[in-house]
Amino acid sequence: MLLQNTTESGRRAHTIAETCALTGLGRDTVYAAIRSGRLLARKIGRRTLVTDDDLRQFLAGLPRAGGFDQVMSECPVATINPPAPRPPPAPRRTP
């Protein structure tokens, strides 16, 4: 059957506003994912649509939430660099 990959609403494609409502992500985050190529979108006229299949694939490709080590190993972009070491203090001069 052709309609197997639909959401509860029965829609096969979603506008950006609907994508935000379905995922809880903000509009800027959704557009950033589209620009980076992580979320595929289609254009029809001035409308941007995200198919249900592409949205599911995007969500499945996100790193799993977990401990610090798991997140760091699965998401190379999320690197946290420790602060640079401070130089030793200058020696005090005695008068």
- CATH number of the domain at 32, please: 1.10.1660
Residue 38 in any domain: the answer is yes
CA distance 83 to 73: 20
Residue 33 in any domain: the answer is yes
pTM above 0.75, yes or no: no
pLDDT at 92: 81
Counting beta carbons within 10 angstroms of the beta carbon of residue 55, is it exposed (0 to 12), middle (13 to 18) or buried (19 or more)? buried
Q: What is the pLDDT of residues 24-57, one digit of tens each?
A: 999 999 999 999 999 999 999 999 999 999 999 9
Residue 50 in any domain: the answer is yes
> Residue 40 belongs to what domain range?
2-74
CA distance 18 to 54: 14
